[in-house]
């Protein structure tokens, strides 16, 4: 079996993994109704709308 000549340094390994780390962050988009950051393909947590339609009634804390 072929073996690597040198052990990959922490720096080189982390440089490679930086890409993966960035991808694993949660994707965000903005709500067209209220402009709040939301996850794509999900009901907006702040106003309860999805695709320009009111889906949920969001309780407002006072
Ligand atoms: Zn919204």
pLDDT per residue rounded down to tens, the chain (62 residues): 899 999 999 999 999 988 887 776 777 888 888 888 888 888 888 888 888 777 777 666 65
Answer whether residue 5 is part of any domain: no
Q: How many domains, the chain?
A: 1
| pLDDT, position 7 | 96
Answer whether residue 60 is part of any domain: yes
Please tell me the distance between residue 46's alpha carbon and the centre of ligand 1 in angstroms. 5
Question: Domain residues for 41?
Answer: 28-62
Residues 6+ apart with CB under 8 A from 49: 31, 33, 34, 43, 55
| pLDDT, position 3 | 93
| pLDDT, position 13 | 93
Please tell me the distance between residue 36's alpha carbon and the centre of ligand 1 in angstroms. 6
DSSP reduced 3-state for 59: coil
Please tell me the distance between residue 54's alpha carbon and the centre of ligand 1 in angstroms. 10
| Measured distance CA(12)–CA(8) in Å, rounded | 6
| pLDDT, position 59 | 66
Please tell me the distance between residue 62's alpha carbon and the centre of ligand 1 in angstroms. 19
């Amino acid at each position: 079996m072929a073996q690597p000549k040198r052990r990959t340094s922490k720096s080189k390994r982390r440089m490679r993994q930086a890409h993966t780390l960035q991808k694993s962050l949660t994707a965000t988009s903005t709500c067209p109704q209220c402009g709040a950051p939301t996850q794509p393909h999900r009901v907006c947590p702040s106003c309860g709308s999805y695709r320009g339609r009111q889906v949920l009634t969001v309780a407002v804390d006072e």
